[in-house]
Structure 1
Amino acid sequence: MHIVAIDIAKFHHDAIVVDDDTGAIVVEPFRFGNNDEGFKTLMQNIRPYLKGKHLIGFESTGHYGHNLMMFLLDHKLTVGIVNPLSTKAEREKKIRKTKTDRIDCYVIYKVLSSRDYARMSRKKLKLQEAKTLTRAYNNLMEDIRLYKNRLQKCVDIAFPELNGLVTPYTKRYNAILKEFGSAKVVAKTHLGTIKKVLSIKGRGNHTKVDPHELKTLAQRSIGQNIDANNLEIEYLLGMIEFLEEKKKIYTKKIEEYARQLNSPIFSIPGIGYTTGLSILSEIGDIALFSSATKVVAFAGVDPSVYQSGEYQGNGLAISKRGSRYLRKALYQCILTVCNNSSTFKNYYNLKKSQGKTHLCAQGHCARKLIRVIYKLLTQNIKFDETALV
């Protein structure tokens, strides 16, 4: 078998071809650009060695190798991804500290030769894309939350009584803030103008507001009309509206990805497209985990352990190691799963009856959910409530 080991960089890559049966280098290290011309150069140099059994591999170095991977998969070639920790361990076997393009390529070859790599496929690549998508969605939701918190601070200065009259972030709530900015302005505005601002047509999240009640409330308000604060409100409303529109686009794209993957995870009651795709993409290739316990540890929902001498810590919090996105998705959906699955609901109630706190019982259910997900993914079967009883 011929192995093509590639050392990835931002603007160019270095490659070497080795006959794995003899360990002989058949193509000396050569450099090619991270562009169309460079990819063609790569193919010209390695094409004679791709006729039989072959493997092309490189380190998982963020996004720099993504386009090359797509190019190789498009040519139906066998591609393997190496963990940088594996190449670091291989490199540290040498007593002398040296680093050259030739050595880096050969180190990657040695790791590939030891079969310490993950084979890539279109489906796995789709999961990586899904991870990027769901993480971006989570970051967007975090931005929306932060902007809303900032807006509430401004509202507390301009018109603190407004939240008691109008549901926050509805169309009329936003319209009042956008048009008037503060209670002082509302109090001085003609009732007809207020009615016009409140007369919002079309579909969406509406809330009924009496113009008379709004004006009376504004006249009694302790809010202040501060120009800087009003400008901040206008800016924050614009950002929130912009991000809410982006949220719709992300949600639609997430549903599209979820339908394409058609994973058994979506058969679990209470798991929707967003949390389901987030869990699925964060776990990635389930074959890389030899047991559900390892997925639990990867999610960081395993109990912490502390032991020193005769002391044994009990009732410690979860470890919170591994993927925080996976952990967040699990806790976001676990109560919904408990409400939609009698088995999970009974398990939650059992833990509560044993004196566990709400969060502790949630943690137990999250670990049970991972065990169920592991079985569904490894056996490619749909969720069956009766099989859990």
Structure 2
Amino acid sequence: KLTDTSSTFKKKLSADLRVIFPGYNTIFSDSTSKSSIELLSQYPTPQSILEAPKENIIKIFLNSSKKGIIWSENTYSKLFKVANEAKIIGLPLDGLAVKIASSITLIKTIQSEIDTLLQKINNFIQSETFPESIRANIELIDSIPGIGQLTAITIIAEIGDIDGFLKPKHLVAFFGIDSSVNQSGNFKGDNNKISKRGTRIGRRALYSVALASISNNRNGVPINKVLLDYYQINLKGKKPKIALVAIMHKIINYIFAVLRNQTPFEQRDPKIHKQMFLENNSLNKVA
């Protein structure tokens, strides 16, 4: 809920910046990133940035990011240019500047609460009273690309004991991404949506993992190339939402496998995985 509230204020901040500071969104990949928030908390308008000593802004970049002096110098140059342009084409609304400062204060306050809660959660999980088996399962889920520690904690908290799910499709139904039934008498619909039964929080966490899994990191390397390729194949002739649900199904299979086998995730090429599956089946038949 705190993250949702923070996101609401971040959207409002971005909207206000487009009015008072045109072009600002081209400076940072995320105009509500830590570097951007720290900058705007001290210099919320184009005029204040133009009047600020260069070394002060460079210091903000160096303290709030890990990108070094070259990035900081280049970012300042782009920022100064955009601030000059915004001074001419932006709307000089003092009230809006106050609103920006207010939004930033709220965002920082909420983020502080989030950080405190995350620290408490982490301390609890690392404590001696926390069950070792659950801690191990969190680490197993965390080994899957695209899943962070908080998401792993959320998923494990929602699933509980994996022994209650005999097959991956049972886990699919639990997350509510199985197809809903669209049937009346002899009529059977072919445009079914996901049922959305089961855990709403778990489904939301799974959706976030799916989006992360088909994206690239800062260096342009896919988070999970196998899933990204699978997503792009499914996009052919299908809607993006349907292709994303297919990714969510795959992730559930990953989760079920690592928890059932109690082994960390190992990414394999689909052809190699298929060959290993056939070999294992052959050995089981011989045995």
TM over 0.5: yes
Match status 1:234 vs 2:101: yes
- Provide the residue aligned with 1:223 in structure 2: 91
Q: 1:203 to 1:388 in 2, by over 3 A?
A: same
Which structure has more relative contact order (CA 8 Å, sep 6+)? It is: 2
TM normalised by structure 1 equals: 0.53
The structure whose residues are more often strand, as a share, is 1
Question: Where do 1:158-169 residues align within 5 Å?
Answer: 158-165=20-27, 168-169=31-32
Alpha-carbon contact 1:292-1:370 (below 8 Å) kept: yes
CA distance in 2, matches of 1:324, 1:291: 20
Structure 1 position 307, deviation (Å): 0.7
Q: Which has the larger radius of gyration?
A: 1
CA distance in 2, matches of 1:248, 1:225: 33
Q: 1:218 to 1:152 in 2, by over 3 A?
A: same
Question: Where do 1:293-332 residues align within 5 Å?
Answer: 293-332=169-208
Q: 1:165 to 1:368 in 2, by over 3 A?
A: closer
- Provide the residue aligned with 1:368 in structure 2: 250
Alpha-carbon contact 2:14-2:32 (below 8 Å) kept: no
Gaps of 5+ in 1: 1-138
Q: Which of these residues, 251, 265, 268, is aligned with residue 383 of structure 1?
A: 265
CA distance in 2, matches of 1:336, 1:181: 31
Match status 1:280 vs 2:139: no
CA distance in 2, matches of 1:178, 1:345: 38
Structure 1 position 213, deviation (Å): 2.6
Identity of aligned residues (%): 25
The structure whose residues are more often helix, as a share, is 2
Gaps of 5+ in 2: 127-131, 215-221, 275-287
- Provide the residue aligned with 2:112 in structure 1: 245
Alpha-carbon contact 1:266-1:272 (below 8 Å) kept: yes
Paired AA for residue 152 in structure 2: G
Alpha-carbon contact 2:20-2:86 (below 8 Å) kept: no
* TM-superposition CA deviations, 1:6-26 (whole Å, max 9, x none): xxxxxxxxxxxxxxxxxxxxx
Match status 1:198 vs 2:72: no
Paired AA for residue 216 in structure 1: N
Alpha-carbon contact 2:151-2:205 (below 8 Å) kept: yes
Paired AA for residue 21 in structure 2: F
CA distance in 1, matches of 2:224, 2:43: 48
Match status 1:142 vs 2:19: no
Structure 1 position 360, deviation (Å): 1.4
After superposition, the CA RMSD in angstroms is 3.4
Paired AA for residue 17 in structure 2: V
Paired AA for residue 195 in structure 1: K
CA distance in 2, matches of 1:155, 1:364: 37
Structure 1 position 327, deviation (Å): 1.0
